[in-house]
Amino acid sequence: MKDVRIIEIKESVFADNDRQAEALRSSLKEKGVFLLNLMSSPGSGKTTTLTGTIAALKDSLRIGVMEADIDSDVDAKTIAETGAKTVQLHTGGMCHLDAEMTRQGLDALGIDDVDLAILENVGNLVCPAEFDTGAVMNVMILSVPEGHDKPLKYPLMFEVCDAVLINKIDVLPYFDFDMELVKEYIHMRNPKADIFPISAKTGEGMGEWTEWLSRQAAEWKCK
């Protein structure tokens, strides 16, 4: 491989989001609500994964979902069909949600009767990783067609996530995707990340993932 020149170009933005996120997390702790922040690229299967997750857990947990999108409400309509309480959040073009925006969403959703609140963040591997939403845990989905090199290119997203779901394993035969290599890359970014290969479409692997999530929510309530 040839060497290529690397030019560092940079710009930075700051805010006092971290304090608001901690305050939100404390208030969720008091209420016994587990907030999950679900992130991924566009089209990696967040909504389908969420549909299967709700189906598996709805008898044991009261679930509320916030669907964040720049435009449209197609995902929220799909989620509402599962019977889970759902609101659509439009970000007005914003590429991510911060803690204050998440708080607005939770207020709109209403969480007095919710055990597990899920934020489906804007489809984006960059910006959402930079902002603590106040969630108890971050989980991301990487889908097989996106390729196993993504942890190399989007380091922060993999660093901030407690678990990585590798979705669309039903199409593994049609893509050059190296499952062992992707696990190695993910653990290079984040040695503690739990990894769950799944197919939200066929249901394969969904049991391990939903058991993990259920256990995290129970532990949070008892802490």
Question: 186-195 burial, b for 16+ CB within 10 Å, e for fewer?
Answer: beebbeebbe
Q: Closer to its own copies at the Cβ: 26 or 72?
A: 72
Contact 137, 55 (CB under 8 A): no
d(CA 217, CA 110): 18
| DSSP H or E segment with residue 48 | helix 46-57
- Name which of 175 and 212 has its Cβ closer to its own copies: 175
**What is the closest distance, in whole angstroms, from the C-beta atom of residue 52 to its own copies in the complex?**
16
In whole angstroms, the minimum distance from the beta carbon of 123 to its own copies comes to 7
Q: Which is nearer to its own copies, 23 or 74 (CB)?
A: 74
What are the structure tokens assigned to 201, written together? 């479409």
Q: Which is nearer to its own copies, 1 or 222 (CB)?
A: 1
**In the complex, least distance from residue 89 CB atom to its own copies, rounded to whole angstroms:** 5
CA neighbor of 217 nearest in space, from 52, 34, 54, 60: 34
- Which residues sit at the interface with its own copies, rule CB under 8 A? 1-12, 41-44, 67, 69-77, 80-81, 86-95, 97, 101, 104-105, 108, 122-127, 130, 143, 145-147, 149-150, 152-156, 168, 171, 174-175
Question: Of 136 and 182, which CB lies nearer to its own copies in the complex structure?
Answer: 182
Distance (Å, whole) CA 151 – CA 169:
18
In angstroms, the first-to-last Cα distance of the chain is: 51
Taking the complex as a whole, the smallest distance from the CB of residue 182 to its own copies amounts, in Å, to 12
Half-sphere exposure of 162 (CA within 13 A, CB side): 13
Which residue lies nearer to its own copies by CB, 145 or 205?
A: 145
Residue 175: CB minimum distance to its own copies, A = 8
- Please, what is the minimum distance in Å from the beta carbon of residue 40 to its own copies? 9
Q: Is 222 exposed, middle or buried (0-12, 13-18, 19+ CB in 10 A)?
A: exposed
CA dihedral of residues 184, 96, 47, 113 (deg, nearest 10): 110
